[in-house]
Amino acid sequence: MARDPNRIPEMLAALEAAWRRNPDWRLGQVVVNAMPIDWPSSDMFHVEDEDMLNGLLELVEVYR
């Protein structure tokens, strides 16, 4: 399955927004905290981009 490269700017913007809301977190903390709640952090390799994007956007909302 080919992934749309146009998703990258939106993902990076969401990552930046979530991290700016939590500047004391390390990058890994932002990513793990954005993962679906029922997903084991040891398996973050398989999280779909849409799920990660939703998690990042949720972090932005929670820490407004």
3-state secondary structure 20-53: HHCCCCCHHHHHHHHCCCCCCHHHHHHCCHHHHH
Confidence check: pLDDT of 52 > 80: yes
Residue 39 domain-assigned (yes or no): yes
Average pLDDT along the chain: 91
User: How far from 46 is each of 35, 36, 40, 61, CA to CA, in Å?
Assistant: 10, 11, 10, 24
Residue 20 domain-assigned (yes or no): yes
Residue 21 · residue 56 · CB < 8 Å: no
- The range of the structural domain enclosing residue 42 comes to 7-62
Q: What phi and psi values does residue 46 have, to the nearest 5 degrees?
A: -100, 5
pTM for the model stands at: 0.87
Residue 2 domain-assigned (yes or no): no
Residue 48 domain-assigned (yes or no): yes
Number of domains the chain contains = 1
